[in-house]
Amino acid sequence: MIANDALGGIWRMAGLPEDALTCVQLSGADPVLPSSFAVGAAAQSTIAAAALAACELGHVRGAPRQQVAVDMLHAALECTGWFSIDGRVPELWDAFSGLYRASDGWVRIHANFAHHRAGALRLLGLDPGTAQRADAEAAMQSWKAQDFEDAAAAQGLVATALRRFDEWDATPQGQALAGQPLFTIDRIGDAPPLALPPLAADARPLAGVRVLDLTRILAGPVGGRALAAYGADVMLVNSPDLPNIEAVADTSRGKLSTHIDLRSEAGRDALGRLLKDAHVFIQGYRPGGIAALGFGPDAAARARPGIVHVSLTAYGTQGPWASRRGFDSLVQTAMGFNHAEGEAAGGGKPRPLPMQILDEATGYLIALGASAAMCRQQREGGSWHVQVSLAQTGQWLRGLGRLPDGLKIAVPDKTPFLETSHSGFGELTGLSHSARLSRTPAAWPRPSMPPGSHPPVWP
């Protein structure tokens, strides 16, 4: 079974005890969503790994191991990220986001943030205040796809040319990525084991663990939400001056949420105070970005010996694209997934995967890595650095193989897996968590709240 093998590989890479795998039960088989890729196995294995690792930390803290069950259909639907607010399903894509025909191929533009949209339109020679989608489509046809990608990257914009798998493999970035593992967990300093409060018999396995979540777009927030589901106190830290996306309502379930301006001395002081009592620090800045603000892995380990620092990037830390901005949809396009899915569908028109599985799976790998590193920290001390990237997850997904008839399956009904709760955004309906813990069920007792709703202090 693909998912069982994938879970075993993830588990061993994390250095976790083999006998814990007897506590997990996976049900279902691909295809569960229309795709020629094993997206169900990717969702199920990463969610199971995250939940089982949290339970293993609970075991390290003295609790008995417990069973973890994950159904593939439930896991895959959870990774679609569907939600509604007061019955309204938000439109998560800007009108200018998506694929455009260039003179020699296709380009995908990510325009969900206003400054990215305006920059792409100016690059196309258009006025952001008056341009329509049709204007952008017409303007793109005068560009070569690779030229637009290069010009956009030079201006810090987010756009990429469509490639086949073999074309991606031939790029310097593809070659750099090929030699990288799915994720890394490295010891970066010496420290005694951090004290954790005693774990009550009925407490979720991460109770008392404090997590700083300095991320905004899907993968990082999904990772923080998973840790919250297993009992951690997760503090989402956003800048008061940066835009967010509506998905923050869904990904903030179970979290505290504060505003801190890291460009100010007062903001850096506030984050420093939070860090001194934190166990995990998750950040999704471009490589070097958080270090420039004084909170890179080494600096964090000096300020808080024993910290687990988790770094998320788009294309990994090696190769010429290491510092390039990227989102799931762009990484899918650059690496060859959209082309391959379109070929499998017939007709050849590029086709996205049925969900942002690179974001979602990477999010659960963040949660896995955080718990696995904390297990090591509790056993042997030290400060730890976990590194993940969307492109490394993409490389792994590709390695799970293809499903010849996967696109023939109908989109399943998500209704049995929905749950509704009150939130600071309104009545929030979303997918329930698919990992079922036998003794201490996953839950989000804290309601989802808008960014900045809480003061920057631990409860």
> What positions carry a catalytic annotation?
359
DSSP 412: P
Task: Say whether 394 sits in a helix, a strand or coil.
Answer: helix
DSSP 37: B
Q: Which of 76, 72, 30 is nearest to 400 (CA)?
A: 30
> Phi, psi (5° rounding) for residue 418?
-85, 150
Cβ atoms within 10 A of the Cβ of 202, count?
A: 9
Which residues are CB-contacts of 170 (< 8 A; sequence separation ≥ 6)? none
Which DSSP string do the residues of 142-198 spell out, in sequence order? TS-HHHHHHHHHHTT--EEE---HHHHHHSHHHHHHHTS-S-EEEEEE--PPPP---
Q: Which of 389, 409, 445, 415 is nearest to 254 (CA)?
A: 445
Cβ atoms within 10 A of the Cβ of 447, count?
A: 16
- What CA–CA distance (Å, rounded) separates 49 from 388? 15
- What CA–CA distance (Å, rounded) separates 179 from 183? 12
User: Do β-strands 383-389 and 418-423 pair in parallel, antiparallel, or remain unpaired?
Assistant: unpaired
Q: What is the dihedral of CA 451, 455, 458, 459, to 10 degrees?
A: -100
DSSP 387: E
Looking at the DSSP bridge assignments, the partners of residue 280 are: 211, 308
- What CA–CA distance (Å, rounded) separates 379 from 345? 49
- What CA–CA distance (Å, rounded) separates 448 from 28? 30
Block residue for tokens 């993968």: 219
Looking at the DSSP bridge assignments, the partners of residue 425 are: none
Cis peptide bond N-terminal to 31, omega within 30: yes
Amino acid letter at 307?
I
Task: Look up residue 259 and give its two tokens.
Answer: 């505003």
- What CA–CA distance (Å, rounded) separates 157 from 159? 6
